[in-house]
Homo-oligomer: A and B are copies of this chain.
C-alpha cells in the first residue's frame, strides 16, 4: 500500500499518524506546500498578541519528528500540481529546486485546507494588507506589529477577526473592525453577540457594522481603507478576515465532484467521487448533523477526526464520519461566546419549526464569590422537544455548558433530558440547578404548556396590543423598562388581580424570566390570557442592543444596558396607578 497525503496540517498530519499506527508496512508520503507540518493555527493570533511567547510552541510537531516517530516520508515545500486518476499518480513540484516529478499512489488523501478570501477590490495587494493562515503570515504580521503600529483595521468580525482585534488592542494598537453584516460573529444569532460588541466598545475598539471596504489606497506609512459608505480609515496594518474558501483547485482539475460552495464532495467514509481518493478538513463539504444538509465548517476538531477516519477506511475499517454540528467557541477579551448545533437564523432559513428559550444564570452558585453572568439560548423542536442548537455568551463556564449541550445534540436528547441531567455541583463549579437544567426546565415547561411564552419579536408585532406587565420591583422598573409596561411586583400581584384586564392578552416580564414565570402561573390559573416574555427584560435589552453603525471619536459609548434603551430616552414614571 502506498498512501499519499496532500497537506500536512490538522487533517493531513492526523491521517498520516493514524495510517502508520494501522500499518507498519505501508509506504506513506506526506506532501506539504509550506515549510511546516501540524502547526497550531488556532494559536496564531495569541502569538501576535504576546500571550504565546515562543514561536516553537506553535509547532505541534516537526517534519523530523514525523519521520523518526512515524516512519513517514515527509516532503515540505512541495506542491502537488496535478492528479492523474487513471494512472493513479500525482505530479509534485519541489518549490526549492523547482524540479517536478511524479509519484504513483494506491490511495490518496487530500487535506489541502482552505485559503483566506482576498476579494478582488482595488489596492488589495498593497503592502500592509494581510491575511492570516500560517506561520509565514504570522511572522509577517508580527514583524509589522513589532515595528510599531498605531492603527489597525480588521476587515471581518468573525472568529479570527475578533481574536486579532483583541490581540492588537493588547499590543496597544487603536483598532477598527469592519463587518459587512449587521452583527459581529456571523454564525451566532445577532442578539447573542450584543455582550461581545459591548466588550469591544468598552475596550476602545471601533466597531463598524453593515459596512464593507471597496478599496485600499497607499498612504505614507500604511494604507487607507476606503469603505462603501465613503468613509476612509487610515491604518498601518490591515487584516482581511472575511472568510475562507476550500482549496479545491487540484480536486476540480482532476474532475472530482465539488459542492456549490466549492467544498470537495465526500461520502460518509470521506471518499471523494473517486473511490481511491479521500478528502478531509476545511476543503470538504460535510453533513450538518442537525439539518442533514451539506455544509462547510472549517474547524480543527472535525479536521483531526476526519484525518483519522479517512486512514481507517483506507486500511480496511468501514468507519463512518457522522457529520459536523458546528460546535465553536471564541474568547473576546474577558468574554466567551460559544455555540453548537443550529442557530435560529439557520433554522429560519431552512423553514424548520423551532422554539427557543433564553436564560441568564451565573456560572456557579451566586452565594459563592466570583459568580460570572452568562446568557444561554436554547433552540428545540416544538413537537418533540429535541435540542436543535444552543448558544451562550458570558464569562467563565460558557464552554462547559455548550459542551454539555453539544453532547445532548449528539445523543438526540430532548429538553426533558436536560431537566434530568445530573451535573457536578459544588458552589465553586455550578449550581444545584445548573444552567443547563434551568434551560431544560424553562423549555420543558413551555412544551407542557405550563407557561406560554411570547418572544420579543412577536410582542412588538402583536395585532392585539397586549397589556405589558412588569413584575419586577419599583426600583428595577424605574431603572428602565419596556415602553408602556405597567409595574406590579410579583409579590403584590395576587392582591391586584381585580385591577387587571381580562379582555386583552397579558404579556408579563421580569429581569430574566423567573418571576415572570410565577406571575404567568398565577395569572393563568386565575383566568387571564397570559404569556411570559421570553428571557425577560435582559433578553429584550440584548435584542435592543443595536450597535451604532459608527461611533465618532469622543462620542459617548453605549452602556452595558444596551443601546436601544439608551437611544430613546425612557419615560421613567413614578409607580403608575393600575387601572
A residues in contact (CB < 8 Å) with B: 10, 20-25, 40, 42-43, 46, 51-53, 57-58, 60, 68-71, 159, 299-305, 322, 324-331, 336, 338, 340, 365, 367-369, 399-400, 402-404, 406-408, 410-411, 413, 417, 419-430, 432-434, 437, 450, 490-491, 494, 517-518, 521-522, 525-526
Contacts and interface: CB of A to CB of B under 8 A. Distances in A.
B399 A407 contact: no
A115 to B, nearest CB: 20
A322 B420 contact: yes
Given A367-B60, A368-B43, A399-B400, A340 B410 contact: no
Contacts of A322: 420
Nearest to A317: B448
B424 A340 contact: yes
A331 B368 CA distance: 13
23 contacts: A40-B427, A53-B369, A58-B367, A69-B491, A70-B518, A300-B425, A300-B432, A305-B420, A322-B420, A324-B422, A325-B422, A326-B422, A327-B424, A331-B428, A336-B429, A340-B424, A403-B403, A404-B404, A406-B422, A406-B423, A406-B424, A407-B421, A407-B423
A424 B411 contact: no
A426 B330 contact: yes
Give the interface centre of A51, A68, A305 by most chain B CB atoms within 10 Å.
Answer: A305
Give the interface centre of A53, A159, A419, A517 by most chain B CB atoms within 10 Å.
Answer: A419
A21 B518 contact: yes
B491 A42 contact: no
B367 A521 contact: no
A430 B365 CA distance: 23
Given A300-B432, A404-B407, A407-B408, 18 more contacts: A21-B518, A24-B526, A40-B427, A42-B425, A42-B427, A42-B432, A51-B368, A53-B369, A69-B490, A159-B426, A301-B432, A301-B437, A304-B433, A305-B433, A327-B422, A328-B426, A407-B413, A410-B420
A561 to B, nearest CB: 26
Contacts of A369: 51-53
A320 to B, nearest CB: 9
Task: State the oligomeric state as a number of copies.
Answer: 2
A21 B521 contact: yes
Nearest to A56: B367
Contacts of A521: 20-22, 24
B410 A424 contact: no
A367 B429 contact: no
B327 A42 contact: no
Nearest to A411: B411
A423 B403 contact: yes
A70 B491 CA distance: 8
A241 B295 CA distance: 55
B338 A46 contact: no
A322 to B, nearest CB: 6
A25 to B, nearest CB: 7
Nearest to A426: B329
A300 B437 CA distance: 13
Contact of A518 (B25, B69, B325, B340): B69
A301 B69 contact: no
Contacts of A429: 329, 331, 336, 338, 399
Contacts of A430: 329, 399, 403
Nearest to A364: B399
Nearest to A409: B422
Contacts of A60: 367
Give the interface centre of A299, A407, A433, A526 by most chain B CB atoms within 10 Å.
Answer: A407
A437 B434 CA distance: 24
A424 B399 contact: yes
A327 to B, nearest CB: 5
A300 B430 CA distance: 11
A410 to B, nearest CB: 6
A450 B18 CA distance: 12
Contacts of A331: 426, 428-429
Contacts of A525: 23-25
A442 B46 CA distance: 31
A176 B537 CA distance: 51
Contact of A419 (B46, B159, B305, B400): B305
